[in-house]
Structures are given as C-alpha cells and as structure tokens.
Structure 1
C-alpha cells in the first residue's frame, strides 16, 4: 500500500472556470497564478491496479478502519468564486428501487437509524474506505448523477490532508448495513478536490468527487441508482442528511459507525453579514464517520432520490448539534466537471 503524494512526475489536472488544464505536478503553479485559484479543482489519477486496491482491504482491515479526523474551521485569504452558471441534474432510480410513498419532512436533529435498505436512497449511500499514512480510515459517500455513471461525492478531508498530499486505495461499499457488501466493492479511478482544500484545508472548500472503475463491465450508478445535484444555487434547503457516524455532537451512547443514520431539517447560511463563511449549516448530531455524507434537498421517498446540495464537513462546537457543509458554488462545479472528464 502506498500514499500517493503531490510530487514531480505525478499527473495532475487543474480545472479553472470550467476549463481543463492538463499537465504534471507543475499544474499547481498554474492554479496559483490566476484569480479564483482556490475554486479550481486538482485531480489525482489512481496508479494502483484494482486488484491491488481490493487486496489491500481485507475484512479485518475494513473492520479496523478508523473514522476520518474531522477538520476544525479554517478560512484562507481567498473567498470562493461565484462566476460559473448554476448547474443541476435530477437523480434516477436503480433496478432495486421500490416506491415507499410520500413522507412529510419534520425536523429531526438527533440522528436516527435508517432501516430501509436494498432500495433508494440507501443504495446510493455507502462507506468510503481509504488509506492515510497511519493506516485505514473511513468516511461516507454517495452516488450522484454523471454522464459516466461512475461518480461518488464526499468531503475534501476524506481524500486529502489539505497539505498537498492525497490519500489512496479508495473503495466504496454502497448500502452498507452493518455487515456484508450487498452491492459489492467499487475501486477508484480518479479523485478531485478544490485547490482551496487540497492546498490550505479551507473549510469553505471541504468537498470532493471520485470516479470509480466499472466492475465486470457494469458502472456503479447502474446498480445503485443515483442522486441529483444542484450547484451554484442557494443556501437554504429542506434536506435529509445521511451518514455512518461513530459518535455524535453532543455525545450520546449507542452510536457504532455500523448503521446508516439520518437527520432532517432546514439549512441556513451561518454567521452574520459581512462575516459569513461560504458554508451551509443544519442542526444534526452526526459525528466522525459521517464525513462526506450527502445533504439531499427535495428527497421524495416515492422515487428515492433528491438533489445533493451539501456534504457533512464538521461541527464548529463539539457540544452543539450545528453541523456545517461547504457551499456548492464554483468549487463544486469545477470538481464535478473534472471527474466528468476523468
């Protein structure tokens, strides 16, 4: 196993204003030289075979994988740019979806276990395993709409340390429900994150996308279904939030990391103008392990999909249930477009 690092000879792609700029590691300098560099996407291609990635994740290592460390709030000197046109797409049901009927969205800040597996939305959400230099870790990720039918979404701190070092050996296990792999394992082909997180660990950019290899010629979204997304839009949504937390904020007992949990509620932009981070907030207690979990607006249980408008990032106060996501502006658009081209 190895940890791929940003160094000479490592192929990189930087996305600036929706345009792909290809090159070697020196592409980071290109991002540094233009306005909006923090919103640009940096891309890493997998240099490890699918066989080796799968072999790295034995059942024992998966059980021992620790939840990713959650970053503290941190802001760089450059705000996220908002010049690209809004971008969105609907979700779609996978072959195993069964209508559940409509349900009213009532605020639920103390997360509960999601018990309905084997159908959307659960089939589109899963555990993301990866290697950091100190060993195996895990986060949450979700399958989203893409032309390559192979893209998942997670948090930036689940793919990079924020100091120009990538994590490695990413494996996605959708619809994880405490044991087993009902929809199999899917290995990574490439990953992208905003330069603002990759080089600076800025909380306003804590997002990432990963493209997965097909398995036996079948693409992941054609098995799981996929969620829609809305980028470059507002801050106020009515969402379901999903994740696999190992703890909660405030702390309570009985949270094991082995169950898919959810909250529901209304989001808002935190802070007081003009001192507002480019983030969204919600009341939800999900902690470590839920990182990267989707915030889904307008989730209709009758068809199992909604629109990805945020991802679990961090709690500004361990004793509060206020949880944060980066706002999905130009950085999300660039990261998404980079993986569309991967």
Structure 2
C-alpha cells in the first residue's frame, strides 16, 4: 500500500462529533423492572393468519410458507433446524429472507459470545484499485463515546446474528423512514452483516440492540449488569432485510468487488411492546443518497462497536477524519475511506456528515479495512442504495 500522507486539517471534525453527542433521546430507556425478566416474542399471540404449530410458537403464515418452500419444517426450525447450514438449507436469494422470533435466544450471555465478521484486506487485495484510490490516510485512533449512550449515541447499536461459524456481531444505526415519519423501524448496516455474499446466503436470527451496554461497562463488569444495561431499549428482530444484488453475487471474504455495494436495510419489530424503534429510542438519522464527491466533504465520522483486538466489542467508539477515495479495482465504484483504528465488529456502523443547517445525515457504513487496522472504507450511497431503502420503506408503509 502507499505511504502514509501527512495529517490533514479537519475544520468540521469538532462540529461533527458534537452533533452526534447532542442526539439526546426524547423518551429515554425504560425503567420498568420487568425489563430484566424474559420477554415474550412479538409473534407470541397466534392470529388467524398464523401457522398453527405448537401454540405460542406459531409463526406468521408467510414465514412458515417460505420455510416449507425450501423443505424446512417451521417448528423444527424453531427447535434448532436453523443450525443446519447445508447448501440446500441455506436460503440465498433476495426474496428468501426468513427470520422468525425465537424467544430467549439472544440472552445477554449469548450476546457476549458473538464474534466479529471482519473484512480485512492485505496489500495485494487493494493493489488493483490504486490508480483510482487516494493516498492511504494517516491512522486515526478511535475514541470512546460518552456514556450513557442513550444520551450521546442513542441511534447506534449492535447487530447480532448467527452464521455457520457461530454467533456474530456487527453495528447498525436507526434511520428515518420517509413513509413512516416519526415511527421508523428501519436500521442501516452492511450487506456482509446480513448475507454471506457469493459463497453463501442469508444469516439467521438477526436482532438489533440500540445503545448496547449503555453505561460503557467493561466485559467483566457487564457480566453482572442487569439486562436493561445490555439493551436499554430492548431487542428488535429483523422481519425484513434487503441488500444489493452486487453484494449477493460478488461479495467475498475480504469484501470482493461487491464491497462498493456492501450496504443493507433492515425492518425490525420489538421482541416485546408495540412502539416503533424511533419512538422508543427517541431519534433517528436521515440518509443522504446524494452526498457530494468524497473530496468535497470536510469531515466524516464513523461510529460502531469494534470487537477484534485490541477492542472487546462492548464499548461504542468513533473516528472522525477527512475522507478520501478508495477502490478495490479499476472497474468498481470508488468508496469513501477514512483513517480509523476500529476493527471488525464495527462493520455496518454508520458514517455521518453534518447537514446544512445542523444535524447529521448517514452517508455510508463501515465495510472493509486492512489487516493493519489503520483505515476503514465504506460504500458511496447512490441510486442503488436508495432503491433498496425506498422499496423497504414502501413495503411497510403506514403499518
């Protein structure tokens, strides 16, 4: 890779960091002591459209039908068949996403076992795009976000899911929904946090926990913390996921040529309660699909929960830097790149810029980085990303 260039002025960096810190929640986390008790799944009460399996474990009919289409018994799926990652059982196509609620699966203890799906690249991985990429940015050391996160980073959280390698973790952001103003249930993350790309299919048991580990406790202290500190706003199960066709076809272990389209939108529902995600968290971030050319952006910030060493995956961190361009090859779209020491686990975390007139807009998400952990790259969000977002928003319009 190219030599490190000198430090660059960051006139907007302070304002950017301050803007997210001021994203105070309108509602605040629940203080209900019942939050420490096991909660009932959103699908616990069967409806006429539910599959009459075993009482409270009934699945919505559309999910049950999808599983049967692929030769999977819905109740066996609940009882552990989801652990079968045989090629013919691993749902791969865009329309095949299935994620029924499994009550109690994501306990605080299981969340702590989740690993990072790092997308790290060696020098040989990036050599093909050097005629497009700007010089390698100087390293920027990630700093811890202030606590409680419900006041300083409420829309940022952790995404948990199961893969053939076991429980995994990414980061995500609560985003605005134009068709459900003030009541969004949308989460932005990376494509590789929901789908394995060309070599696999949809991951399973996807849940989102905004403001995870609200008080920034150490791993040892978190073990004895009540559930409401692990997930102060509760746990939200994805009932829909959408990512790009480019990622599904071309995404790979180190990002591949699908990295420039490594983004995803989730629609989620609470494991308990009826309020929307935005109402519960108290805020959501708009997405800017028309951000200016990377070189015209003064500063960009990335937030997430880095999990690979030297980080432990339970503390929210952020990096702010002036972005440059990065490309994985001469025929791929250039991505944003910033200096940042965050590691795997921060994947999918939102990248923000200041909006004219104040506030933040999401313009990218963490996708890939080098094995040396000196920088991160994220996709530019254009027409393709907007199409996925719009389709997901319309699907759940006014629900």
State the TM-score, normalizing by the size of structure 2.
Answer: 0.60
Q: Secondary structure at the match of 2:154?
A: helix
Counterpart check, 1:314 vs 2:368: yes
Distance across 2 between alignment mates of 1:129 and 1:261: 18
Match of 2:391 in 1: 338
2:366–2:377 contact (8 Å) kept in structure 1: yes
Structure 1 residues 287-306: aligned runs within 5 Å:
287-298=343-354, 305-306=359-360
Structure 1 residues 27-66: aligned runs within 5 Å:
42-48=94-100, 50=101, 52=102, 54-66=103-115
Q: What's the Cα RMSD here? A: 3.2
Match of 1:162 in 2: 197
Counterpart check, 1:195 vs 2:245: yes
Match of 2:209 in 1: 173
Distance across 1 between alignment mates of 2:68 and 2:201: 13
Distance across 2 between alignment mates of 1:121 and 1:230: 21
Counterpart check, 1:110 vs 2:170: no
Distance across 2 between alignment mates of 1:272 and 1:68: 19
1:108–1:265 contact (8 Å) kept in structure 2: no
Higher helix content, 1 or 2:
2
Per-residue deviation, 1:182: 1.1
Per-residue deviation, 1:256: 1.2
Structure 2: gaps of 5 or more residues: 1-63, 71-91, 127-137, 223-229, 252-257
Structure 1: gaps of 5 or more residues: 11-26, 29-41, 75-106
Structure 1 residues 140-155: aligned runs within 5 Å:
140-146=171-177, 147-148=179-180, 149-155=184-190
State the TM-score, normalizing by the size of structure 1.
Answer: 0.70
1:206–1:326 contact (8 Å) kept in structure 2: yes
Match of 1:216 in 2: 273
Per-residue deviation, 1:154: 0.5
1:244–1:261 contact (8 Å) kept in structure 2: yes
Distance 1:281 1:210, change over 3 A: same
Per-residue deviation, 1:108: 8.3
Distance across 1 between alignment mates of 2:149 and 2:143: 18
Distance across 2 between alignment mates of 1:271 and 1:206: 13
Per-residue deviation, 1:208: 0.5
Counterpart check, 1:183 vs 2:228: no
1:43–1:191 contact (8 Å) kept in structure 2: no
Distance across 2 between alignment mates of 1:274 and 1:64: 39
| Number of corresponding residues | 268
2:343–2:373 contact (8 Å) kept in structure 1: no
Match of 1:244 in 2: 305
Distance across 2 between alignment mates of 1:272 and 1:176: 32
